[in-house]
Amino acid sequence: MILVGFLVFSCNEPSEEIQEVDRGYEYYPLQVGLERTYRVMRIDYFLGIDSATGIPETVADTSRFLLMERISGTDEGLPGQVFFLEHSFSKSDTSFPWSLIPDSIYKVQNNEVYLNKTRNNRTTTELRFPVQHGASWDGNAFNSDPNQIFIVDSTGFSVLLDSIQYSDCIRVTKSDIENPIERDKRFDIYSRWNGPVYRFMSVLKYKQPIDPNATGLERINKGYEEIWVAIDD
């Protein structure tokens, strides 16, 4: 009788609810027809010759343009694999229409573990799921380049860009190098349901030997800086 009572009691206990894990797929929405537009500033640094003195000097060539990424369709890979085709377009300003022919085409795949982007047969892992603070992964795991650790180093914040408030953001730092030889700082900010809304890249090589008194352009041998800001086009 005691055993029967125990079994009845056990069967009547409420079962624990299974907590569904927030995977964070919404940080890079994939849907045919979805578009994102950015205002881009790029500065290319290179050594030129001063026309008056004939002395080499660093030149900063600045360009500004608009860039749009549009998910235009899907493609099939191996059995069970679906890739989204992301077309990239650019134009100098709003007075010009978008071209009908994309500048670049990416294949984007969410395989429920990684968000991979492929261009010219080179795949970069942009996100790892579930998205959470401190998560890290090798962004070059699926290509032949040296390991490059990406890390989610900030979550749950808001940013104001081009008068638009983006909430529930994360920052993915791709590189954070600064030394007397080079600077390589790159990070992306993603907003849930909007995807990447801000991108920062500063990849510079400094002149050698080092001049301790050199600042700004005087220090740079070559490289580039690029900033993308999401806009409401």
Q: How far apart are CA 126 and CA 145, in angstroms?
A: 15
Q: Which pLDDT does position 125 carry in this prediction? A: 98
Residue in the structure block whose two tokens are 């125990």: 6
Q: Which sequence spans correspond to the domains of the chain?
A: 22-231
pLDDT at residue 3 in the model: 40
What whole-number distance in Å separates Cα of residue 109 and Cα of residue 46? 36
pLDDT at 18: 61
pLDDT digits (tens, 9 = 90+) for 80-134: 789 999 999 999 999 999 999 999 999 999 999 999 999 999 999 999 999 999 9
Q: Contacts for 168-171 with beta carbons within 8 Å, 24 or more apart? A: 168/192, 169/197, 170/24, 170/27, 170/131, 170/133
Whole-angstrom Cα distance, residue 191 to residue 37?
A: 14
Please answer whether residues 207 and 42 qualify as being in contact, where contact means their C-beta atoms are separated by less than 8 angstroms: no
pLDDT value of position 24: 97
3-class state of residue 193 by DSSP: coil
Stretches in the chain below the pLDDT threshold 50: 1-11
pLDDT of residue 147: 97
Helices (H) and strands (E) counted in the chain, each on its own, are 1, 12
Tokens 């002395």 locate to: 55
109 pairs with which residues across the strands?
116
**Looking at residue 81, what is its pLDDT?**
83
* DSSP per-residue codes, 82-124: EEEEEEEEEESSTTSPPPSS-SEEEEEEE-SSEEEEEETTEEE
Confidence at residue 15, expressed as pLDDT on a 0 to 100 scale: 53
Residue 16: its pLDDT value, please?
Answer: 59
